[in-house]
């Protein structure tokens, strides 16, 4: 795949690039994490993102975090809103917000069915 995907003008789904920092990948602290700690870390992240997005931008149909280790995918978060307007509002606003010491990088995505989400 050339990764030169066409970007939609309207979509219910947004992509936030590299939002989830897996502590086992960017492991600067000494020691490793147990499965329970990893799950807890992930759950906290998921809840914090989900709650804020839903409160601020609109109701969410589905949210997925990429656990794929491919450089271009790792930590990507896909959020499908119920309404296209909410997705648009979210993308515009998120691009000017910080998250965990980084600027957020957000765009509309063509993905509508996450089980079919594969580049062809």
Rounded-to-integer distance, Cα 29 and Cα 78, Å: 28
Q: Which is nearer to another protein, 51 or 73 (CB)?
A: 51
Helix (H) or strand (E) segment spanning residue 79: strand 77-81
Nearer to another protein (CB atom), residue 75 or residue 80: 75
- Please give the residue ranges that form the binding site for another protein (CB under 8 A): 44-45, 48-49, 51-52, 55, 95-105
When the beta carbons of 16 and 111 are compared against another protein, the nearer one is 16
Angstrom distance (rounded) from CA 79 to CA 42 = 16
E strand or H helix at 108, and its extent?
Answer: strand 106-109
């Amino acid at each position: 795949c050339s990764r030169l995907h066409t970007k939609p003008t309207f979509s219910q789904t947004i992509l936030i690039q590299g939002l989830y920092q897996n502590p086992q990948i960017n492991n600067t602290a000494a020691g490793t994490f147990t499965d329970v700690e990893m799950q807890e870390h992930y759950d906290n992240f998921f809840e914090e993102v989900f709650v804020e997005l839903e409160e601020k931008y609109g109701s969410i149909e589905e949210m997925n975090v990429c656990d794929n280790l491919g450089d271009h995918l790792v930590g990507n978060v896909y959020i499908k809103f119920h309404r296209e307007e909410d997705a648009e509002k979210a993308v515009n606003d998120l691009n000017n917000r910080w998250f965990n010491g980084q600027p957020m990088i957000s765009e509309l995505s063509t993905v509508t069915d996450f089980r079919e989400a594969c580049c062809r």
